Amino acid sequence: MRALVQRVAEASVAVEGQQIGQIGPGLLVLVCAMQGDDDSAADKLAARVARLRIFRDDQGRMNRALLDTGGAALVVSQFTLAADTRTGNRPGFSSAAAPEDGRRLYEAFAQALRQLGIATETGQFGADMQVRLLNDGPVTIWLDSTDRA
């Protein structure tokens, strides 16, 4: 699984003009399931997101994790993180998981964050969403569940 993590002062997601998720300080997590991913990838990625030390400590250093701060997570599905741009000008998305697998793993990822004690809001899988955020820093980190054992 892949995630693009942004430290935010606030973030929200809407579908057809209706807000369906909103958080204050925390993380906006854009997430994509890839072909071959399973529930362990969702759990592993959620643990990495929850423990990623990108929040300021008392000295202003990025030394605290979401678990330390009590912040929330807004999880939004984004299959375009699977984009293959190696050839041509039109990205390919064939490495993304099939929609039914993508939905299941997206939901498993959000649930894994909740089980770690993180207040978690979500977007709507497969919907055309409008995401608003106030990036804090800015801090934006790319994670992939296959990058680390």
Q: Are 123 and 129 in contact (CB under 8 A)?
A: yes
The answer to whether residue 79 is domain-embedded is yes
Enclosing domain of residue 100: 2-137
Catalytic residues: 78-80
Contact in structure between 12 and 22 (CB atoms under 8 Å): yes
CA 64 to chain centroid: 18
**pLDDT one-digit tens code per residue, 75-96:** 999 999 999 999 989 999 999 9
pTM (predicted TM-score): 0.94
Question: How far apart are alpha carbons 124 and 43 in whole angstroms?
Answer: 20
101 within a domain of the structure (yes/no)? yes
In a domain, 117, yes or no: yes
CATH number of the domain where residue 95 is located: 3.50.80.10
Please give the average per-residue pLDDT across 23-47, as a whole number: 97
| Domain assignment of residue 144, yes or no | no
Cβ–Cβ under 8 Å, residues 5 and 51: no
Q: What is the pLDDT of residue 138?
A: 95
Q: Indicate the pLDDT class of residue 64, thresholds 50, 70 and 90.
A: very high
> How many domains does the chain fold into?
1
CA distance from start to end of the chain? 13
Residue 37: strand, helix, or coil: coil
What is the C-alpha separation between 12 and 48, in angstroms, rounded? 22
DSSP 24: S
